[in-house]
Structure 1
Amino acid sequence: MRVAAIQLDTAGGHPDALDRTARLIDEAAADGAGLVLLPELFAVPFVQPDPDPEYFRLAEPLDGPSNVMAAERSRRHGITVVSSVFEASATPGVYHNTACTYVGGELRSVYRKSHLPFSNGFPEKFYFRPGQAEPEVVDIGAAAIGTIICYERHFPELSRIVALKGAAVLTVPVASASAPMREVFQLELRAHGIFNNLFVVCANRIGREGPKDYFGTSAVYGPDGEIIAQAADTGDEVVAADIDLARVTARRESRPFFRDRRPDLYPRLAQPG
Structure 2
Amino acid sequence: MKLAALQLRATDDRTETIGRAADLIDAAADQGTRILLLPELFAVPFVQPEPDLDYFRYAEGLDGPSNRMAAERSKRHRMTVVSSIFEAGQVPGVYHNTACTYVDGELKSVYRKSHLPFSNGFPEKFYFQPGGTEPDVVQTGETGVGTIICYERHFPELSRVVALRGGSVLCVPVASASAPMREVFQLELRAHAVFNGLFVICANRVGTEGTKEYFGLSAVYGPDGDVLAQAADDRDDVAVAEVDLDLVDRSRRRRPFLRDRRPELYGRVTRMEPET
Instruction: Give the corresponding residue for 1:39.
Output: 39
Aligned-partner SS, 1:19: helix
Look up the match of 2:121. 121
Amino acid at match of 1:226: D
Q: Aligned partners of 2:246 and 2:233: how far apart in 1?
A: 31
Partner of residue 242, structure 1: 242
Q: Equivalents in 1 of 2:63, 2:76: separation in Å? A: 17
Which residue in the other structure is 2:256 paired with?
Answer: 256
Corresponding residue for 1:60? 60
Contact 2:5 2:202 in 1 (8 A): yes
Trace 1:1-273 onto structure 2 (pairs within 5 A). 1-11=1-11, 13-273=13-273
Question: Alpha-carbon deviation of 1:187?
Answer: 0.5
Gaps of 5+ in 2: none
Separation in 1 of the partners of 2:75 and 2:228? 27
Q: d(CA) in 2 for partners of 1:46 and 1:173? A: 13
Query: 1:259 is paired with a residue of what secondary structure?
Result: coil
CA distance, structure 1, for counterparts of residue 269 and residue 119 of structure 2: 23
TM-score by length of 1: 0.99
Distance 1:171 1:123 in 2: 23
Range with bigger deviation, 151-160 or 226-235? 226-235
1:219 touches 1:231 (CA, 8 Å); kept in 2? yes
Separation of aligned partners in 2, 1:220 and 1:12: 28
Cα distance change, pair 235–12 in 1 and its aligned pair in 2 (3 A):
farther
In the TM superposition, residue 233 of structure 1 has moved relative to its aligned partner by 1.1
Please give the alpha-carbon distance, in whole angstroms, between the structure 1 residues aligned to 2:114 and 2:28: 29
- Counterpart of 1:100, as a letter, is C
Aligned residues: 273
Q: Distance in 1 between the 2:165 and 2:123 partners?
A: 31
Q: CA separation in 1, counterparts of 2:197 and 2:47?
A: 33
Q: Distance in 1 between matches of 2:55 and 2:179?
A: 25
- 1:174-194: CA deviation from partner (whole Å, max 9, x where unpaired): 000033321211100000000
TM-superposed deviation, 1:12: 5.1
Deviation at 1:78, TM superposition (A): 0.5
Q: What CA RMSD, in Å, does the superposition of the two structures yield over aligned residues?
A: 0.8
**Paired residue secondary structure (2:63):** coil
> Which residue identity lines up with residue 223 of structure 2 in the other structure?
P
Shift of 1:254: 1.5
**Paired amino acid for 1:88:** A
Q: Given the two structures, how large is their TM-score scaled by the length of structure 2?
A: 0.98
SS of equivalent residue, structure 1 residue 34: strand
After TM superposition, which residue ranges in structure 1, 4 or more long, deviate above 6 angstroms? none
Q: Is the 8 A contact 1:11 1:207 kept in 2?
A: no
Distance in 1, matches of 2:178 and 2:153, equals 16
SS state at 1:201 partner: strand
* Unmatched 5+ stretches in structure 1: none
Query: Secondary structure of the residue that 1:93 maps to in structure 2?
Result: coil
Question: SS at 2:33's partner residue?
Answer: coil
Whole-Å separation in 1 of the counterparts to 2:272 and 2:184: 26
Secondary structure at 1:57 match in 2? helix
Any idea what SS the aligned residue of 2:44 has?
Answer: coil
